Amino acid sequence: MRQLTTIAMDGTVFAAILFLISVGLTLVFGVLRILNVAHGGLYAFGAFTATTLAMRLLDLGANPYFTYLMLLVAPVIVGVIAGPLIERVFLQRVYGRAEAIQLLLTFSIFLILDDLIKLIWGTKPLFVSAPYTLLGEFSLSGIRYSWYQVVLIAVAILFGGALVWAVRGTRIGKIAVSVINDREISQAIGINVNRVYMGSFTLGAFCAALGGALIAPTIAVAPGFAVDATVLAFAVIAIGGMGNLEGAALGALIVGLLRAMAVHLFPEADLVVIYLAMIVVLVIRPQGLFGQVELRRI
Amino acid sequence: MEAKRLPLAPAVGGAALLLVVPFILPDWMKFIVTLAMAKFVAVLAVALFLRANLVTFGHAMFYAVGAYAVGFSVKWFRIDDMVVLLLLGALLGAGAAALIGLVMARYREVFFAMLNLAFSMMLYGVLLKLYWLTGGTDGLGVGRPTFLGYAPPREYLRDFLYYTTLGVAGIVIYVVHRFLASPLGFYLRALADNEIRIEYSGESVRRVLYVTYIVAGALGAVAGVLTAFTVGHIVPEYSFWIQSGDFVFVALLGGYGSVVGPLIGSIAFEFIRTYASKYFPNEWQMTLGIIMLAIILFRPGGLWAIYEALAARVGRRPSEGRRA
Amino acid sequence: MPDESILRTINLTKSFGMVTAADRINVEIGAGELVGIVGANGSGKTTFLNLITGYLTPEAGRIFLMGEDRTGLPPRVITRLGVARSFQIPQLYTNLSVLESLLLSLAAKTDTGAGVWRPLYRQPWMDEGVETLGRFGLEAYAHRPVSELPEGGRKLLDIALSFALRPKLLLMDEPTSGVSIKDKFQVMDTLIKVVEESRLTTIFVEHDMEVVQRYGRRVLAFNEGRVIADGRPEAVLADPDVRKAVLGRV
């Protein structure tokens, strides 16, 4: 029973992290129909930026509670700079081209971002623990957890909810959905598709960076941690259905719980179990749990 | 549009050059070219999929299958014969592909890429964690191979490896060339254009993809066998998605529209990587990324297309000069 | 009584949500017939073709080809049974050459499926391919990329690719749509000539009544998923109900 609680708690925390990592990726795919391999790089940029800003702040002697502000400011900076830059300068040129090319384009950007991080921040790991330790810990079934982890879960739920509301409830969201469903008709009725694309990608970049920023206080950020996150994000959205927000949540939950189970019960299988789940889901339902199939009209 | 015959002069020239490399280049360069030719075989497999507008981010799994086949054979069965292991590797690669292909042939586009990724990362996880079997992150060491029973003296081992790899690369080029000139090869290209027309011709798209997948799996494993012996050390990273990404990158760099393009791309890539990672360890990935961006945005045909464009211009010049 | 028809459908039915695209269609086509199907847009003509070639599965009803029940089989199998079909929007291999596209049709006819070792470009196939292209007036484009074909040529190639399969039943979906008015009859003349020379059972779908009148020996009129008339062209096309449904006026 105790183990069940531990697994449930661990799984949920991990799921929250996964959701924050993946939601941006699925959003970009949903609107632009492009799988952004560079997503992991933006995530890492968010983490590093947030960490550095927080560290500077603490060096300057500011109130440690301001580091939380940095966790929100950093992703905005990254999103607003990287988003339009990548979308306008690079992505735009491969719309409509073969998918292989689009994938390779984002893969190249990933490689560039990965090295940029090394150039800007060096290769030594960075760690700012203030946001994490500041909130203190509590005990559950004899295991100690941090309140920060609970905050992560809360943020994931709130943020996910906000996104869903934004897509379903707001005018901008409905415009985006219109573009998703039929780009040509959207253009014909006067929607500025280019701006929707840029906005969506920027939002996706922001989400990626936000994920990185929020996770940064829990681990030491080092070059290369983007790589793991990228592949996990792929697995989550593939399972949930690419382009689907609820799917990302469900996928994150599934992967999170599975990983928690593996870590506590079969530690050697913790990597394998995630990919096995991905394969099982994709074989039974190729479009993912909440994904949609398109039948070509002839 | 007609069946592209390999332009004769450069092909002969290139082959001649490769034949004499061991006599003119220093050892470490020989190593790089050997490695490049070994990996080229896997890149060619990836190029096959690219022709059908399919990207695989998981071909490293077959590469790892071949490499670990060598590792296990050497470690447990004391089999270290190059020819035997090449055949065994090809068989295992084809077998694995035959199994996975049953699932894979149903998918396209991003899902094809992702599912391949998933399988390869699963293999990576297994190779990493079962350390008592695979040596985990330490990997397996592979000693010197024999060639049909003959154990060459140490000074000539590099050359033997070089010529074997060259020979295998040559055979592979021939086989793939015929494959692409066959009906199935053309159907593979047609797959990128119009699957409906294929089905309405009575041919099965799944079958086309399945057969290609098996061929590609065998090629990937052969590359793994050659690399295992060349490098002498096998690690789980052979199955990592970055390795798959490298294969795709090289296919793009060299130009996946031709059979020889990937070879040029592979050699270029290995040299760039050796120099760059030595002198610019923090920038060489970025260099790769920038080169790839440049190719995608300006010359999608890769190095081969650049060469073809140059060759066409050179061909035109004599007639331009002839003005009375 | 042995079924000697080439195609027979019994109560073929298919709906998409609220729309009934095929409503208990009963049709029998005999060998050697040249049948035109006419109807307004959305009357179910293309759905009918999609159903009998297996691209769509009917909700109810059966499809018999050459006397055997073939309901529910996929297009690939139906094609191998001798039914070939061309499309409203030509389905072509845009990155191959015209001849290569045709060779692929020929290569698909082998029993074991496309081979992997012997080349696509082999003499007997090339001869047959060029000859077939000639029948459709496309031999000049043989080595050009498909993307260079003019609109009418694309239509003709689409039909040629199906014809090359030497089917027992050829279905043509709007063979003259997208073709300019002055070329329409030229294209149809070519097509009908080819089809009659081979004595191929043919069904062609058209919304141009003039074309159907001139070339069809029998006409089926579709409206809202049902066959509302079936008979000789003059009779069917003079029928006021048919004219109202197809043209919107009597």
d(CA B289, CA B295): 10
Give the residue from A89, A92, A115 with the most B CB atoms within 10 Å of its CB, the best one to mutate.
A115
Kindly report the CATH class assigned to C7-91+168-247: alpha beta
Q: Return the CATH number at A68.
A: 1.10.3470
Give the residue from B4, B189, B201 with the most C CB atoms within 10 Å of its CB, the best one to mutate.
B201
In this prediction, residue B209 carries a pLDDT of: 94
Say if residues B232 and B67 touch (Cβ distance below 8 Å): no
E-only strand ranges, C150-247: 169-173, 201-206, 218-223, 226-231
Which residues of B fall within a CB distance of 8 Å from A255?
none
- The segment with the largest mean pLDDT, out of A100-104, C139-143, C235-239, is C139-143
Chain mean pLDDT for chain A = 85
> Using one digit for the tens of pLDDT, what is the confidence trace for A253-279?
999 999 888 888 888 777 788 888 888
Does B4 contact chain C (CB < 8 Å)?
A: no
In this prediction, residue A227 carries a pLDDT of: 78
Q: Flag whether pLDDT at B113 surpasses 70.
A: yes
How many C-beta neighbours within 10 Å does residue B324 have?
2
Say if residues A232 and A274 touch (Cβ distance below 8 Å): yes
Compute the average pLDDT of residues B19-34: 84
Q: Flag whether pLDDT at B316 surpasses 70.
A: no
Q: Across the interface, do A99 and B53 touch by the CB < 8 Å criterion?
A: yes
d(CA B295, CA B301): 8
Tell me how close the Cα of C116 comes to any Cα of chain B, in angstroms. 5
In this prediction, residue B4 carries a pLDDT of: 47
In this prediction, residue A138 carries a pLDDT of: 82
In this prediction, residue A230 carries a pLDDT of: 83
CA-based nearest residue to A298, from C25, B200, C207: B200
In this prediction, residue A169 carries a pLDDT of: 80
Lowest mean pLDDT: which of A278-282, B6-10, B87-91, B183-187?
A: B6-10
Say if residues A247 and A241 touch (Cβ distance below 8 Å): yes
Asked if the structure places residue B245 within a domain, the reply is no
- pLDDT confidence tier of residue C55, bands split at 50, 70 and 90: very high
In this prediction, residue A295 carries a pLDDT of: 54
The dihedrals phi and psi of C12, each to the nearest 5 degrees, come to -70, 125
Which residues of B fall within a CB distance of 8 Å from A103?
55, 57, 110, 113
Does C115 contact chain B (CB < 8 Å)?
A: yes
d(CA C36, CA A5): 71
Residue of A nearest to B129 (CA): A268
Angle A195-A198-A200 from CA coordinates, rounded to 5°: 105
d(CA B148, CA A261): 49
Q: Flag whether pLDDT at B1 surpasses 80.
A: no
Q: Which chains touch C (3 or more CB pairs under 8 A)?
A: A, B
In this prediction, residue B320 carries a pLDDT of: 39
Amino acid making up residue C177: S
In 3-state terms, what secondary structure has residue C136?
coil
Chain C residues bordering chain A (beta-carbon distance below 8 Å): 50, 55, 87-89, 91
- pLDDT confidence tier of residue B39, bands split at 50, 70 and 90: very high
In this prediction, residue B240 carries a pLDDT of: 92
In this prediction, residue B2 carries a pLDDT of: 38
Compute the average pLDDT of residues C228-246: 88
Does A298 contact chain C (CB < 8 Å)?
A: yes
More confident residue, C107 or B136: C107
Say if residues B166 and B18 touch (Cβ distance below 8 Å): yes
Which residues numbered 64-83 in C keep a CB inside 8 Å of some CB on B? 74-76, 79-80
Residue of B nearest to C125 (CA): B183
In this prediction, residue A1 carries a pLDDT of: 66
Asked if the structure places residue B43 within a domain, the reply is yes
Residue of B nearest to C78 (CA): B202
Does B142 contact chain C (CB < 8 Å)?
A: no
User: Is the pTM higher than 0.95?
Assistant: no
In this prediction, residue A205 carries a pLDDT of: 93
Which residues numbered 33-62 in B keep a CB inside 8 Å of some CB on A? 50, 53-55, 57
In this prediction, residue B323 carries a pLDDT of: 37
- Which CA distances in Å does A33 have to A30, A38, B296, C149? 6, 14, 18, 31
In this prediction, residue B6 carries a pLDDT of: 52
Q: Across the interface, do A279 and B245 touch by the CB < 8 Å criterion?
A: no
> Using one digit for the tens of pLDDT, what is the confidence trace for B254-310?
888 888 889 999 999 999 888 887 888 778 888 888 888 988 888 777 777 777 777
Asked if the structure places residue A298 within a domain, the reply is no
Which residues of B fall within a CB distance of 8 Å from A109?
289, 293
Residue of A nearest to C91 (CA): A298
d(CA A148, CA A153): 9
d(CA C215, CA C196): 11
> Using one digit for the tens of pLDDT, what is the confidence trace for C147-182?
999 888 898 999 999 999 999 999 999 998 877 877
Which residues of C fall within a CB distance of 8 Å from B197?
91-93, 161
Q: Flag whether pLDDT at C234 surpasses 50.
A: yes
Q: Across the interface, do A275 and B111 touch by the CB < 8 Å criterion?
A: no
d(CA C131, CA A232): 56
> Using one digit for the tens of pLDDT, what is the confidence trace for A208-259?
999 899 888 888 788 777 777 888 888 899 899 888 888 999 999 999 999 8
SS3 content of chain C, % helix, strand, coil (to 5): 40, 25, 35
> Using one digit for the tens of pLDDT, what is the confidence trace for A154-213?
989 999 999 888 888 888 777 877 777 777 777 778 778 888 889 889 999 999 999 899
- pLDDT confidence tier of residue A282, bands split at 50, 70 and 90: confident
In this prediction, residue C249 carries a pLDDT of: 66
B240, two tokens: 């990592």
- Which CA distances in Å does B191 have to B51, B54, B184, B197? 9, 9, 10, 9
Compute the average pLDDT of residues A116-129: 85
Provide the domain count of chain B: 1
> Using one digit for the tens of pLDDT, what is the confidence trace for C129-141?
999 999 998 999 9
CA-based nearest residue to B285, from A224, C32, C46: A224
Does B193 contact chain A (CB < 8 Å)?
A: no
Asked if the structure places residue B69 within a domain, the reply is yes
d(CA B59, CA B18): 27
Q: State the residue range of the domain holding B145.
A: 8-240
Please count the residue pairs, one from chain A and one from chain C, whose beta carbons lie less than 8 angstroms apart. Answer: 6
Tell me how close the Cα of C144 comes to any Cα of chain A, in angstroms. 22
Q: Across the interface, do C107 and B183 touch by the CB < 8 Å criterion?
A: yes
Compute the average pLDDT of residues C214-243: 90
Q: Across the interface, do C96 and B200 touch by the CB < 8 Å criterion?
A: no
Q: Which chains touch A (3 or more CB pairs under 8 A)?
A: B, C
> Using one digit for the tens of pLDDT, what is the confidence trace for A31-84?
888 889 899 999 999 999 999 888 888 888 877 777 888 888 999 999 999 999
Pairing of strands C201-206, C169-173: parallel
Nearest by CB: B289 against A109, A275, A296: A109
E-only strand ranges, C54-176: 60-65, 68-69, 83-86, 169-173
Q: State the residue range of the domain holding A94.
A: 2-284
- pLDDT confidence tier of residue C2, bands split at 50, 70 and 90: low
Chain mean pLDDT for chain C = 90
Chain mean pLDDT for chain B = 86
Tell me how close the Cα of B287 comes to any Cα of chain A, in angstroms. 7
Q: Flag whether pLDDT at B14 surpasses 90.
A: no
Give the residue from A103, A111, A118, A295 with the most B CB atoms within 10 Å of its CB, the best one to mutate.
A111
Tell me how close the Cα of A224 comes to any Cα of chain C, in angstroms. 40
Q: Across the interface, do A115 and B289 touch by the CB < 8 Å criterion?
A: yes
Tell me how close the Cα of B36 comes to any Cα of chain A, in angstroms. 21
Nearest by CB: A100 against B50, B107, B196: B50
Which residues of B fall within a CB distance of 8 Å from C90?
none
Which residues of B fall within a CB distance of 8 Å from A226?
none
The dihedrals phi and psi of C7, each to the nearest 5 degrees, come to -135, 135
How many C-beta neighbours within 10 Å does residue B21 have?
17
Provide the domain count of chain A: 1
Lowest mean pLDDT: which of B90-99, B123-132, B302-311, C207-216?
A: B302-311
Which residues of C fall within a CB distance of 8 Å from B189?
93, 95-96
Q: Across the interface, do B181 and C121 touch by the CB < 8 Å criterion?
A: yes
Asked if the structure places residue A97 within a domain, the reply is yes
Asked if the structure places residue A91 within a domain, the reply is yes
Q: Across the interface, do B199 and C53 touch by the CB < 8 Å criterion?
A: no
Asked if the structure places residue B27 within a domain, the reply is yes
In this prediction, residue B221 carries a pLDDT of: 97
More confident residue, C207 or C139: C139
Residue of B nearest to C146 (CA): B1
In this prediction, residue B8 carries a pLDDT of: 63
In this prediction, residue A10 carries a pLDDT of: 85
More confident residue, A14 or B93: B93
In this prediction, residue C134 carries a pLDDT of: 93
Q: Across the interface, do A115 and B54 touch by the CB < 8 Å criterion?
A: no
- Which CA distances in Å does C159 have to A66, C56, C69? 71, 21, 26
Does C162 contact chain B (CB < 8 Å)?
A: yes
Asked if the structure places residue A292 within a domain, the reply is no
- pLDDT confidence tier of residue A149, bands split at 50, 70 and 90: confident
Q: Which chains touch B (3 or more CB pairs under 8 A)?
A: A, C
